[in-house]
Amino acid sequence: MLVLLGTPVLAQTARQQEVRAKSMHVMPFSMDATMHVFKTTSAGGVMTVRVRDGDAQQVALVRSHLRKEAAAFARGDYSDPMTIHGTAMPGIDGLRKAGGRIAIGYAEIPSGARITFISADAQVVAALHRWFAAQVSDHGHDAMMQRM
């Protein structure tokens, strides 16, 4: 474990370091200032990005990015996550091919924004859960999973 200015930081794997570096080219907000929270539900899940200290500029960047991503996901476009995590990311093919079998919504929260995924199709929900788990693994200490 590393300690930066009195705050413990868990060492990252080579994969997590690679993903973090790629994230900086796709996501306009600071990874250091934010936390990705993935919550699975029986009908899909919720991806939330929160700004740790509530910095207004970072909140605006998170909201702008997640709004854009929600619109892309609704079209079946997962190119940004594939740029970061690779084209063979678990669950990504199932989501790209989900079409009208998944509803995607965007909402602002006080410290950031969230994207909600809802599907009645068990295969789509399973693909989403695999995708969430892969993101949490790849993002290391920048992400966390919450289960139903």
Residue from 48, 46, 35 nearest 148 by CA:
46
Instruction: Delimit the domains of the chain by residue range.
Output: 14-146
pLDDT in tens, 33-60: 999 999 999 999 999 999 999 999 999 9
pLDDT tens-place string over residues 61-105: 999 999 999 999 999 999 999 998 888 999 999 999 999 999 999
Q: Is residue 103 within 8 Å of residue 148, measured between CB atoms?
A: no
Amino acid at 123: Q
- Which phi-psi region, left, alpha or beta, contains residue 57 (left: φ > 0; alpha: ψ -120 to 50)? alpha
Mean pLDDT of the chain: 89
pLDDT above 80 (res 123): yes
DSSP the chain: -EEETTEEEPPPPHHHHHHHHHHHHH--S-STTEEEEEEEETTEEEEEEEETT--HHHHHHHHHHHHHHHHHHHTT--HHHHHHH-TT-TTHHHHHT-GGG-EEEEEEETTEEEEEEE-S-HHHHHHHHHHHHHHHHHHGGGEEEE--
Angle between helices 14-26 and 122-139 (to 10 degrees): 100
Q: Is the whole model's pTM more than 0.95, yes or no?
A: no
